């Protein structure tokens, strides 16, 4: 039976570059690869899968939250590659799991594991529950040499722990950080908010 893989990492860990390199290698061997991405990710263009190093490709399939994947559309493929998989709904992840059984195509999903509050995205959680293989795409913290495991969000240059879970952004909005630097930044933010709340008017 084909397998479902989840390759996760923080922002700036070269997940999309990894995906595009895998797609290139498959196609170089004359194999059929399908590129999938969530429709809501429009940072680089509606159907674009882009890496910060300059590699890019057009997605073959755009997926909405309420999409249902038909296994017949995946027959004859050698691999399915999914970008920004954290934005997919749990039901779409389950459809991808079924595709590995019938028609029996391996699926490799790339994405974030957790959001800027260190909470699992619903799509990532379902992948952690269902994937045959879970691999980390590693990058170092923006502020030290430790491994980054958190995504620190900024608003107007300041760290924040408030706002919607999904907020598209790039280098100016997020930084990959280790737990120490995440904790320091967010605890200071929480202290500032508490101080502002307690300050007399």
What positions carry a catalytic annotation?
A: 84
Answer whether 104's CB lies under 8 Å from 1's CB: yes
Neighbours of 109 (CB within 10 A): 26
User: What distance in Å separates the CA atoms of residue 10 and residue 181, rounded to the nearest whole number?
Assistant: 14
Answer whether 150's CB lies under 8 Å from 10's CB: yes
Cis peptide bond upstream of 103, omega within 30? yes
User: What distance in Å separates the CA atoms of residue 69 and residue 94, rounded to the nearest whole number?
Assistant: 9
Answer whether 82's CB lies under 8 Å from 37's CB: yes
- DSSP 8-class letter at 85: G
Residue from 94, 101, 95, 102 nearest 72 by CA: 102
Residue from 107, 108, 78 nearest 16 by CA: 108
């Amino acid at each position: 039976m084909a397998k479902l893989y989840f390759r996760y990492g923080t922002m700036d860990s070269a997940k999309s570059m990894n995906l595009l390199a895998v797609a290139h290698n498959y196609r170089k061997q004359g194999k059929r690869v399908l590129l999938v991405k969530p429709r809501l990710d429009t940072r680089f263009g509606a159907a674009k899968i882009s890496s910060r190093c300059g590699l890019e490709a057009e997605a073959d399939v755009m997926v909405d939250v309420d999409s249902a994947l038909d296994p017949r559309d995946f027959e004859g493929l050698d691999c399915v590659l999914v970008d920004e998989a954290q934005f997919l709904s749990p039901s779409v992840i389950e459809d991808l799991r079924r595709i590995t059984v019938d028609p029996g195509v391996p699926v490799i999903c790339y994405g974030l594991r957790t959001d800027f509050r260190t909470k699992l995205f619903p799509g990532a959680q379902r992948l952690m529950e269902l994937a045959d293989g879970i691999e980390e795409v590693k990058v170092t913290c923006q502020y030290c040499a430790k491994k980054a495991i958190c995504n620190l969000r900024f608003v107007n240059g300041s760290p924040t722990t408030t706002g919607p879970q999904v907020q598209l952004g790039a280098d100016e909005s997020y930084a990959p950080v280790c737990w120490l630097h995440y904790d320091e930044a967010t605890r200071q933010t929480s202290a500032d908010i508490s101080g502002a709340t307690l300050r007399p008017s």
